Amino acid sequence: MFQNQQITEDIFYVGVNDRQKHKFENMIPLPVGVSYNAYLIMDQKTALIDTVDISMGDIFIDKIQSQLQGRTLDYLIINHMEPDHSGSIRLIRKYYPDLVIVGNSKTISMLDGFYGVENNTKEIKDGEILSLGTHKLQFHFTPMVHWPETMMTFDQKSKVLFSGDAFGSFGTLDGTVMDTNMNIDRYWDEMIRYYANIVGKYGAAVQKALQKLTPLDFDIICSTHGPVWKEYISEVVDMYDQLSRYEGNEGVVVVYGSMYGFTELMAETVAQGLSQGGIKDIIIHNVSKTDSSYILRDIFKYRGLVVGSPTYSNELYPEVESLLRKIEIRGVKNRIFGYFGSFTWAGAAVKRLSTFVETMKWETAEISVEEKQGLKEINYQACLELGRQVAKMVKKPIERKEHCG
């Protein structure tokens, strides 16, 4: 029934698109959907690289059977055990009971833990090679990108790197899977949003993985989400290198919470000061309106961050507090920070923001602004100055570390 798209002579795409799910991991909005990518290698032995979310299992099985045309499936290589990729394991074993599941020791343990699968497994070591015939699959462990069992599989014949979740993106694959056959512009921001929200905490692990992959002469990257990368491999690897170093571009994100518009006016004024200071990329987010996944995306994109909050029950505005916690969890580094706040009868927000930045150990503007009730002329000027100070700090040249990848 299915005519699966061809990646190379012997490698076929058998993944699926999910346009139904509203939120990835029940947290992150999917306005343009997501793909669950899996790949089938046809050789003397056949090998499936990863599976898909169980919600799409029936289509997945049909695509595999259409490609195999009556042949058996010999191996299932598991690069990542997260259920959106491993969810169809029990289903596929019903169709191919003699299938050998290949993974590392942590993968094998998770197989039992998630799905009660104990038999017909093959534990492999880092650097080990599995021969399918002409295709030789070499396994490279990349722990904590972004689970402890994650690994990548390199096909030495076709020079294809099956990278698991690394280099992935939100967004469905509409009509084609190869970057050479599509307009990839819409994927860049979704790729950064994916990184910031899923992988963002593990910058050091990503750097280790990039260093480990450097000797591999791969021509194609097959991720488990988003496009298959061929034409834009260097841009994709460079993006991961920059993001995992927490190196933002010249620009500033202004984030605020506001109940009645007073803190919002301060945010607008800070943005005006940023513009006066020569910043062209200024992104303003209202935490009550913009989902945090988009705010985190922009925080990973740009060097500067200014946060404003009213005092709420002697604490930060709840949505601001929630965002700051997400930033802390991800361990974002190397940011230029400014902050401001407002209150009606007892101020606490600015103090809480000060504590936050001390925790993050970021470079911070000398001035912070706190206003009681409506914005007055003196603090209007102070907000402009805060913006100008942050702009000056952001525009200061940074020394680029040696590139890897």
Q: What's the CATH code of the domain at 338? A: 3.40.50.360
Q: Note the pLDDT of residue 397.
A: 83
Residues 153 and 299 in one domain: no
Q: Note the pLDDT of residue 305.
A: 98
Residues 197 and 253 in one domain: no
Residues 150 and 179 in one domain: yes
Q: Note the pLDDT of residue 347.
A: 87
Residues 192 and 260 in one domain: no
Residues 277 and 180 in one domain: no
Instruction: Give every CB contact of residue 287 below 8 A, 6+ residues apart in sequence.
Output: 255, 256, 257, 295, 317, 319, 320, 322, 323
Residue finishing a domain among 196, 216, 244 = 244
DSSP 167: T
Domain count, the chain: 2
Residues 269 and 359 in one domain: yes
Q: Note the pLDDT of residue 405.
A: 42
Neighbours of 29 (CB within 10 A): 15
Q: Note the pLDDT of residue 399.
A: 65
Residue finishing a domain among 220, 244, 268 = 244
Q: Could you tell me if residue 404 is inside a domain?
A: no
Q: Note the pLDDT of residue 190.
A: 98
Rounded Cα distance, 353 and 384, in Å: 19
Q: Could you tell me if residue 375 is inside a domain?
A: yes
Q: Note the pLDDT of residue 404.
A: 45
Residues 240 and 253 in one domain: no
Residues 205 and 259 in one domain: no
Residues 187 and 38 in one domain: yes
Residues 239-267 pLDDT 10s: 999 999 999 999 999 999 999 999 999 99
Instruction: Quote the domain boundaries for residue 81.
Output: 5-244
**Tokens standing for 141?**
């462990």
Q: Could you tell me if residue 314 is inside a domain?
A: yes
Q: What is the CATH number of the domain that holds 128?
A: 3.60.15.10
Residues 101 and 114 in one domain: yes
Residue finishing a domain among 193, 215, 244 = 244
Ranges under pLDDT 50 in the chain: 403-405
Q: Is 287 helix (H, G, I), strand (E, B) or coil?
A: coil
Residues 239 and 362 in one domain: no
Residues 239 and 383 in one domain: no
Residue 75's H or E segment, with its range, is strand 75-77
